[in-house]
Structure 1
Amino acid sequence: MNATDPVVIAARRTPIGTSGGGLRAYTVDELAAPVLRAALDDTGLDRVDDVVLGNVFGPGGNPARVAALRAGLGVDVPGVTVDRQCASGLAAITQAAAQIRAGEAEVVLAGGVESASTAPHRAWPTDPPTPYPRAPFAPAEFGDPDMGPAADVVAAEAGISRERQDAFAARSHARAVAAQREGRFDDELVPLAGLSADERPRPGFTAERLARFRPAFTADGTVTAANSCGVNDGAAAVVVVSERVRARLGVPGLRLTASATRGCAPARLGLGAVPAMRAVLSDVGGVRLDAVEFTEAFAGQVLACLDAVNTDAVSTDAGGIDAGGIEESVVSPDGGAIALGHPWGASGAVLVVRLFARLVAQGRGNTGLAALSSGGGIGVATMWTVVR
């Protein structure tokens, strides 16, 4: 271990609210500021070198800087906002880690934030102006499908059945409901406006019940509103420090042992995580994963990514999959975005908050992976190991 290795020593998030729900009045900086403050306060540190936040649909104007000021971090703390679409929050954390490794910083707050409820409306400057629901992910000649239809294509090409998708989604809700009931989210949450729990998880969401939902995007598709994520508000942040700082404080942490950012065909954007996960798994080699946090935008897309990675894996004599692949049972162990929600710019950071809570705070394992795909055909994957 090197003195400049990046380590997460604190991790916090808001409850994830449904768009138009309990967090509807909060702008992105108002969502992010209390989370930044709470994460830093958890460490006892009194200074920060930078703030790096992911955001997708916010107002512009560098929300990371605005949130840092609102959090009372001081006018000398700069702040930068990252847009890598749904991977923005995780990309922000890897960028903070790069600052630590390079010796440019010793303490960085990193994460992401999204307020679908307050996102400004946008329009092309035609006469009259033409509203648009999202920015282009790629030039038209590369293929630039909407997320839902693209997920239908990915699931169909990978042979992911509707039944398997519904079972995965039902499991996500069941796990999230159980985690809420048992208080496993409590210590990571920063309540806002009286909202102290994630709004989306639903008890009684069985595979049989999910089977009643009609296709949401294409007439013969398998992706439905029930086996997909929601549209959500939320913020998440972690404190990334050098190993030198962690050792001086004498606290446990989550060390970033490998990371990769890769691209794929924009028309198959849901598969972006596959080459990134393959790179990380190949880099670490021989490590058994205790937990995998993968943003569940669509059940079929998640399962297609896992199957693609596992084609490279080798079965072990004891059963299961070796470090060349990922056992489905360890994915989203306390539920994922299908149950918890998907606040786009924050979701990648939520993955690391969840790993920190499970592996470090609760001591349920030692090694985890966080990964996701994003618009434009981009994937980010990270590997983490507990240090004490």
Structure 2
Amino acid sequence: MPDERMPVIVAARRTPITTKGARLARITAEQLAAPVLRACAEDAGRAIGSRIGGTQSDGDPSAHLSIGDVVLGNCMGPGGNVARLAALAAGIDVAVPGMTLDRQCGSGLSAIIAAGDAIRAGDDRLQLAGGVESASTAPTRLADGIAYARAAFAPTGFPDPEMGPAAQALALVHGIDRGSQDAYAARSHRLAVGAQRLGRFDREIVEVDGVRRDDGPRASMPAMMGRFRALYPAASGEVDGTVDGGTVTAGNSCRISDGAAAVAIVPADARGAAPGLALLAHATVGCDPALPGIGPVAAVARMLEERALNLADIGAFEIVEAFAAQTLAVLQLLGLVRDGAVDPRVCADGGALALGHPWGASGAVGVVRLFSRLVRGDAPAGTLGIATAAIGGGMGVAALFEVVR
């Protein structure tokens, strides 16, 4: 692929991430995504020194770069094409299309990959891509007059565990005890609180309905370790023939959340002198649907093998921390946990265990975090970063990025 066709992220933004039923509970999915899309387009214009065609305020045929598409991931929304609704709500020109995709918790990252592939295939326009989830406004679904919480991840005849029991199964298979899970959750909160205090999230967050800060990180998490031990396991249903003695709890699991995240991607030859993240490679793989949380292992391994890289070459990792047990299982198999210590390159400002997990957006949140850590954080050109997520039904998705300056 010629260098000029390399997709480069030149802007990355997200909303505050809030708990389901909390401060953004009345904001619909398109209303969450719209201000993020708008901010990304505006940031991209400033970064590359160009008017971006396709925005409501432009109407200018002399704009140097137009918006080609809006691609958003979404899992549990109202149906229809949320990306198109969000694009219109953002003031993007009616001529710009939109596409919504569902790869469950990998949706936001898969949307960014899809937009990047459009540029690789020859589209020379700016792409807006990411994900959104409003768990608070997600509709109740009915089948034969009976309400159900989610669609099936696997068909009849295949395992289709709820995510809590699936995480508990990984804890049993990989010998991850309760103390390790609680300690990892506390790490996520500690790092997120530190990042919040230092203002590391400020430049990536777009205010929505007066909300400017994530509500998940807890400064008192180290003190809560004792309280963690008192929590009953939250994973319901049988796990390995028993319902008792589980180690997955509310304390070491992510919150169900509302939020949106997006990036602006341009061909390398359109970025000018703007720093950014080049999308070098990606991989999406399937795995045993009985253990869906382990999918990132094969996705990361395949991607690194194809690029002739190893873990030592990577400067930063962002993994969607759905459950401490699931995350630790992945990190152990990748070699990013040694003697009980988690590699400091992993979610260095905390992850979903602290911030929350807006399903369709979380993979894109990981890319926004990489942009902040590496581009806004002045990492040198050539620094590599990986974003990855596990996917319900037994899949994993990973993407490799490189800092360009």
Q: TM-score, normalised by structure 1?
A: 0.93
Distance across 1 between alignment mates of 2:318 and 2:274? 23
Deviations 1:139-167, CA, capped at 9 Å, x for gaps: 13110010000100011101111111111
Distance across 2 between alignment mates of 1:220 and 1:278? 33
Q: State the partner residue of 1:372.
A: 389
Q: State the partner residue of 1:159.
A: 175
Distance across 2 between alignment mates of 1:375 and 1:299? 16
Match of 2:294 among 271, 276, 287: 271
Matches within 5 A, 1:122-271: 122-124=141-143, 126=144, 129-206=145-222, 207-217=225-235, 218-246=243-271, 249-271=272-294
Q: Verify the 8 A CA contact 1:170 1:210 in the aligned structure 2.
A: no
- Structure 1 vs Structure 2: percent identity of aligned residues? 52
Distance across 1 between alignment mates of 2:301 and 2:377? 28
What residue identity is the alignment partner of 2:355? L
Q: State the partner residue of 1:309.
A: 334
User: 1:309: Cα distance to partner?
Assistant: 2.2
Q: State the partner residue of 2:4.
A: 3
The size of the alignment, in residue pairs, is 372
Matches within 5 A, 1:331-370: 331-364=346-379, 366-370=383-387
Q: State the partner residue of 1:316.
A: none
Q: Verify the 8 A CA contact 2:71 2:100 in the aligned structure 1.
A: yes
User: 1:329: Cα distance to partner?
Assistant: 2.2
What residue identity is the alignment partner of 1:88? S
Distance across 2 between alignment mates of 1:380 and 1:302? 14
Distance across 2 between alignment mates of 1:9 and 1:182? 23
Deviations 1:249-269, CA, capped at 9 Å, x for gaps: 310010111110000011111
- Which segments of 5 or more consecutive residues in structure 1 lack a partner in the other structure? 314-319
Q: Verify the 8 A CA contact 2:379 2:403 in the aligned structure 1.
A: no
Q: Verify the 8 A CA contact 2:16 2:259 in the aligned structure 1.
A: yes
Q: State the partner residue of 2:86.
A: 67
Q: Verify the 8 A CA contact 1:50 1:105 in the aligned structure 2.
A: no
Q: Tell me: CA distance 1:369–1:327, structure 2 relative to 1, closer, same or farther (3 Å).
A: farther
User: 1:328: Cα distance to partner?
Assistant: 2.6
Deviations 1:176-198, CA, capped at 9 Å, x for gaps: 00100110000000011111100
SS of the residue 2:70 aligns to: strand
What residue identity is the alignment partner of 2:322? A
Distance across 2 between alignment mates of 1:155 and 1:106? 45
Pick which of 283-292 and 131-140 moved more. 283-292
Q: State the partner residue of 1:317.
A: none
SS of the residue 1:292 aligns to: strand
2:317 maps to 1:298: no
Distance across 1 between alignment mates of 2:296 and 2:283? 9
What residue identity is the alignment partner of 2:146? T
Q: State the partner residue of 1:86.
A: 105
2:61 maps to 1:26: no
Pick which of 103-112 and 302-311 moved more. 302-311
User: 1:211: Cα distance to partner?
Assistant: 2.5
Pick which of 356-365 and 18-27 moved more. 356-365
User: 1:327: Cα distance to partner?
Assistant: 6.0
Distance across 2 between alignment mates of 1:142 and 1:363? 47
Q: State the partner residue of 2:17.
A: 16
Distance across 2 between alignment mates of 1:103 and 1:364? 29
Matches within 5 A, 1:26-45: 26-44=27-45, 45=51
Q: State the partner residue of 2:58.
A: none
Q: Verify the 8 A CA contact 1:85 1:375 in the aligned structure 2.
A: yes
User: 1:214: Cα distance to partner?
Assistant: 2.0
Distance across 2 between alignment mates of 1:177 and 1:115? 24
2:403 maps to 1:386: yes
User: 1:307: Cα distance to partner?
Assistant: 1.4
SS of the residue 2:3 aligns to: coil
Distance across 2 between alignment mates of 1:283 and 1:334? 29
User: 1:204: Cα distance to partner?
Assistant: 1.3
Distance across 1 between alignment mates of 2:135 and 2:287? 27
Q: TM-score, normalised by structure 2?
A: 0.89
2:321 maps to 1:289: no
